[in-house]
Amino acid sequence: MTIGIGDAGSAGGPLVAGFSDVVVAQIVRRACSAGFERWWSRVANAGYCARPVQLTGVDVFGREHHVLGRCKNRRASVCPSCSDLYAADIWQLIHAGIAGGHHDIPATVSAHPSVFVTLTAPGFGAVHSVHTSASGGARRCHRERGFRPDAGGAVAGVRRCCHGKSLWCTDIHASVDAVVGEPLCRQCYDYTAQVLFTWHAPELWRRFTIAVRRGVAKALRMRGEDPIGVRVSFVKVVEMQRRVVPHFHAVIRLDDADADGAVAIPETSLDAAQLAILVRQAAALVRMEIPGPAPGNSLVVLRFGSQIDAQPLTAAESGSIAGAESGAVAGAGVVSSTAAGVGRRVAGYLAKYVTKSVAEFGLTPHRLSPEAIDTLDVSEHVRTILSTITVLAQQRGYAPMLRWLHTLGYRGYVTTKSRRFSITMGALRDRRARWRADHTQHLGPDNDPVCGGAEVRVADASAVSGWEFRRVGHVCDGDRLLAISAAVRAREHRWVAREEHAAQVAAERYSIAA
C-alpha cells in the first residue's frame, strides 16, 4: 500500500500534523490487524472521508455492526474526499442551470437570457496585488507614476504616508506571493469599513437581488410586457478575496414564471445583453446606510465596489468571463461559443471556490476566542481584521460578531440559489444514494467503487433495530492518514480517467470528421 499525503489539504495546511513515529506505528498496527480488510471496506464505503461519522447497531442475532458515513464537509482542509464531492455537486447544479440537458433541466435553458456577474467590495486602502495587462503580461503592483501620497500627513516630495510607509510597490507579484492582498500600510487601511462591509455583505446581496428583480420588472413594463410572466432565477457563490473580504459570483437567469414549476423560456424581448445592463445598474444602485461606530456614530454607507462585471452568458453572445481581480482568478479565460462550453467553464470556475475556506488565511473552521488572536499563526493583516472585529463587537448591536471571528466576520452562506434555478443539493445526494444502492448490491463489501459517495451504507442496515452515534472522525491519526491518502489517490485516478476519456472522445470525433 502506498501512503502519500502530498498537498491533500490543497487550500490549507497539512491535514495530519507531522508524520511522527507514533503515526507510523498506528498505520503499521492497523495494516497488520486481523480486521483490516473489513475496516478498509467500511472506509472505502464512506468514500475515504477524513472525518467520518461512526454509527453502531446490534442486529436480531446480537451481532454488532459498524457503519461510517461521510462528514459532508465542503472544505478541502477538513476532508479532501467530501469537498471533492461537494464541488462536483455544485458543478452539476450550476452546469444544469446554464446548459441544461440533465437533472430535469431542459437543454433549452441555454437560450434563456442569462448573465455571469461578479460583485466586489469597494477599496479600503491600497493593497499589494497581481496585475496583468490586456495582452496577459505581468504588471507592477503599484506604479510610482500617478500614485500620490495623502494630502493629510504626507511628507512633501517623498511618496510615503504619514506613517512613513511607501505608497508604491514596483514588484511584480505572483498570485502565490504571501504579500498579495496585504495593505501597503496597515495603519492607513480602513479595517473598520472592511469588517462592516463583510458583516453586512449578506444583506447587501439580498438588496441587490431585489434591485435586479425591480429593474427587470420596470424594463418589462417600459416595453409593454407583463412583468408577472418573467421570473429572475440565480445561483451565487461567495469567495474570500486575497484582501480577506467577500466577493460574489453569480449566474442570473430569466425564466417563464407561468411554466407551472418547469424551467421554460420566458416570453420577453429582453435579451442577455440588456439583462447585463440591468444587473450592472442594480449593483451600482444598491446601498445600505448604517450608524458608524462610536464615538461619532456618523453614517456609514456600504455599497459594492466599482468593479462590477456582468457578462451575457447566452451561447451566441458570450464573451470573455474576466474575473473582477483578473490576476487572482487565472483560468477564467474566454468561454467557448457553445452553451455546454459556457456552462462547463462557469460551473468549473464557481465549483473551484466552494471548497476553499478560511484555512488558507491560517484559521480553522472552528469557533475562535478573542483571547487566542495574539497566539494565532496568521498574517498581521488577518490578525488586525480579527482584533477590529473584537473592538466592533463592543459596539451596540454588534456583539454577535464575536461568534463569527473564525469566518473573519462573514456570516452568510457560501452558496445560495433561488428555488427554481436548478436541481437542489439534497436531490443530487438522493440520486447518488439511490444509484449506489442499485449498483452495489451485486458487489461484495470489498468491491465497492472507490470514487463512490456512500452517504451511509444501507445494505445490512435493515437487520439492525437501531443505530447509535459512536464518534466523529477516525480513531487515530494513522487511520486518518490512510483514508486521506486513499482519497487523494482516488482523486488522481479520477483526473487521469477524465483526461483519458476526453482524449478518447476527441479522437473519435477526429476520426468521424476525417
Q: How far apart are CB 489 and Zn ion at their closest, in Å? A: 16
Classify residue 374 by burial, with Cβ atoms within 10 Å: 0-12, 13-18, 19+.
exposed
Between 122 and 473, CB nearer to Zn ion = 473
Pairing, β 246-256 against β 230-240: antiparallel
- Count of residues interacting with Zn ion (CB under 5 A): 15
**Rounded Cα gap, residues 201 and 196, in angstroms:** 8
Binding segment for Zn ion among 134-142, 279-287, 394-402, 490-498 (CB under 5 A)?
134-142
User: Can residue 55 be called a binding residue for Zn ion (CB under 5 A)?
Assistant: no
- Which residues, other chains included, contact 224 with Cβ-Cβ below 8 Å and sequence gap of 6+? none
188 binds Zn ion (CB under 5 A): yes
Which residue, 30 or 70, is less far from Zn ion as judged by CB?
Answer: 70
Buried b (16+ CB within 10 A) or exposed e, 159-169: ebbeeeebbbb
Kindly tell me which of 86 and 349 has the beta carbon lying closer to Zn ion: 86
∠ CA 316-318-322, rounded to 5°: 170
Q: Which of 141, 278, 279, 490 binds Zn ion (CB under 5 A)?
A: 141
Q: Decide if residue 456 touches Zn ion (CB under 5 A).
A: no
- Binding Zn ion (rule: CB under 5 A), the pick from 85, 109, 126, 169 is 169
Phi (first) and psi of residue 382, to 5 degrees: -65, -40
Does residue 185 bind Zn ion (CB under 5 A)?
Answer: yes
Measured CA to CA, the distance from residue 489 to residue 31 in angstroms comes to 18
Cross-strand bridge partners of residue 467:
57
Binding segment for Zn ion (CB under 5 A), chosen from 158-166, 231-239, 242-250, 414-422, is 158-166
* Grid cell for residue 189: 487601511
Residue number, 116 or 168, with CB nearest to Zn ion = 168
- In contact, 130 and 139? CB cutoff 8 Å: no
Candidates 4-12, 183-191, 420-428, 430-438 — which segment interacts with Zn ion by CB under 5 A?
A: 183-191
Under the binding rule (CB under 5 A), the answer on residue 71 touching Zn ion is: yes
459 binds Zn ion (CB under 5 A): no
**Judged by CB, which is closer to Zn ion: 81, or 209?**
81
Q: Which is nearer to Zn ion, 169 or 238 (CB)?
A: 169
User: In a 3-state reduction of DSSP, which class is residue 248?
Assistant: strand
Q: Is 471 in the site for Zn ion (CB under 5 A)?
A: no
What lies within 8 Å, CB to CB, of 222 at 6+ separation is: none
Using only C-alpha atoms, the chain has a radius of gyration, in whole angstroms, of: 26
Residue 355 CB, nearest approach to Zn ion (Å):
12
**Residue 217 interacts with Zn ion (CB under 5 A): yes or no:** no
| Residues belonging to the chain | 514
Specify the 3-state DSSP secondary structure of 476.
Answer: coil
Question: Alpha-carbon distance 68 to 45, whole Å?
Answer: 8
| Minimum CB distance to Zn ion, residue 266 (Å) | 40
Question: In whole angstroms, what is the distance from residue 47 CA to residue 454 CA?
Answer: 6
Between 80 and 312, name the residue whose CB sits nearer to Zn ion.
80
Residues 332, 321 contacting (CB under 8 angstroms) = yes
Task: Output 169 or 335, the one with its CB closest to Zn ion.
Answer: 169
Which residue of 79, 90, 282, 351 would you call a contact of Zn ion, by CB under 5 A?
Answer: 79
Interface mask toward Zn ion for 389-418; x: CB under 5 A: ------------------------------
Task: Fill in the amino acid letter for 499.
Answer: E
Residue type, 102: H
42 binds Zn ion (CB under 5 A): no
423 contacts 96 by C-beta, under 8 angstroms: yes
Three-state SS at 134: coil
- Give 128 or 249: the residue with its C-beta nearer to Zn ion: 128
Range in contact with Zn ion (rule: CB under 5 A) among 2-10, 140-148, 220-228, 406-414? 140-148
Q: Note whether 82 binds Zn ion by CB under 5 A.
A: yes
Residue 49 makes contact with Zn ion by CB under 5 A? yes
187 binds Zn ion (CB under 5 A): yes
Backbone angles phi, psi at 73, to 5 degrees: -80, 135
Q: What is the C-alpha separation between 486 and 476, in angstroms, rounded?
A: 16
Residue whose CB is less far from Zn ion, 70 or 417: 70
Q: Is 163 in the site for Zn ion (CB under 5 A)?
A: yes
Q: Is 193 in the site for Zn ion (CB under 5 A)?
A: no
Kindly list the residues in this chain that would bind Zn ion in the complex (CB under 5 A).
Answer: 49, 70-71, 79, 82, 128, 141, 161, 163, 165, 169, 171, 185, 187-188
